[in-house]
Amino acid sequence: MNLRISGVGLSLLLAVAPASAQERELLLADGQQLFIDNGCFSCHTVGGSGNATGPDLSHVGARYDEDGLAGWLRNPARHKLLVHTQKFQHLTRGQVEQLAAYLSSLR
């Protein structure tokens, strides 16, 4: 009896886990696309690609957590760089989340 109940619990878990992992993948892919579309590579390197005008972001996710990155991206007033202010102010809330998820995955 107990076994059957936990069996049901386990299959529920298995049904849910791949879907959220997939959503995470999509979030990261969208974030990476935003990184490309917004010209971030013109000043930043990730894994050897891009221009090294600004700091290398290959491991930026190890230095800042996702919430911190999202907060930073959401608030252009906190950016010392004019170029960042311009690059970030048009991003929607969803896009900020995507970009922050992507950046935080770079470790």
Contacts with ligand HEC by CB under 6 A lie at 35, 38-40, 42-44, 53-55, 57, 60, 63, 80-81, 83-84, 87, 99, 103
- Least CB distance from residue 86 to ligand HEC, whole Å? 9
**Distance (Å, rounded) from C-alpha 35 to C-alpha 57?**
11
The minimum distance between CB 48 and ligand HEC, in angstroms, equals: 17
**For residue 48, what are the contacts with CB-CB under 8 A and spacing of at least 6?**
58
Please say which residue, 7 or 94, places its beta carbon nearer to ligand HEC. 94
Sheet strands (E) in 1-107: 45-46, 49-50
State the CB neighbour count (10 A cutoff) for residue 33: 14
Minimum distance from CB of 43 to ligand HEC (Å)?
Answer: 3
Q: Looking at beta carbons only, is 19 or 61 nearer to ligand HEC?
A: 61
